[in-house]
Amino acid sequence: MEIEFGVNGWKQLPDAISKKYHFVPARVEVEEHHIGVYASKTDEHMVKADHPKALLHGSLVSPSLGAAIINGKYVNAVPLYRLEQEFQRYGL
């Protein structure tokens, strides 16, 4: 860590914000994670704090929401347009 935060120091940049939809049948919750981002004052080197991994990089899809879509489509044989209507009721 001393190499990263050495004598020349760092400046803190605005936190990166990660949001994911969390699907629980009959309700949807949004999780918001603030991820610290730091940049070196001497060069363009940046460091991000640890954060939760995403199911699909850059997507709002959580594992529970992805499972609900796959379950509806392939297990219950619900057409995609009906799944879409169902999720629109939740504001997704």
Which tens digits make up the pLDDT trace of 20-48? Answer: 887 777 677 788 889 899 998 888 889 98
Instruction: Tally the domains of the chain.
Output: 1
Task: Report CA 90 to chain centroid distance, whole Å.
Answer: 18
Domain range enclosing 46: 10-89
In a domain, 24, yes or no: yes
**In-domain check, residue 4:** no
Judge whether 46 lies within some domain.
yes
| H-run or E-run covering 24 | strand 10-24
- The reply to whether 3 falls in a domain is no
In a domain, 2, yes or no: no
At 80, list the tokens.
Answer: 């995609």
Residue 60 lies in a domain: yes
Residue 52 lies in a domain: yes
Mean pLDDT of the chain: 82
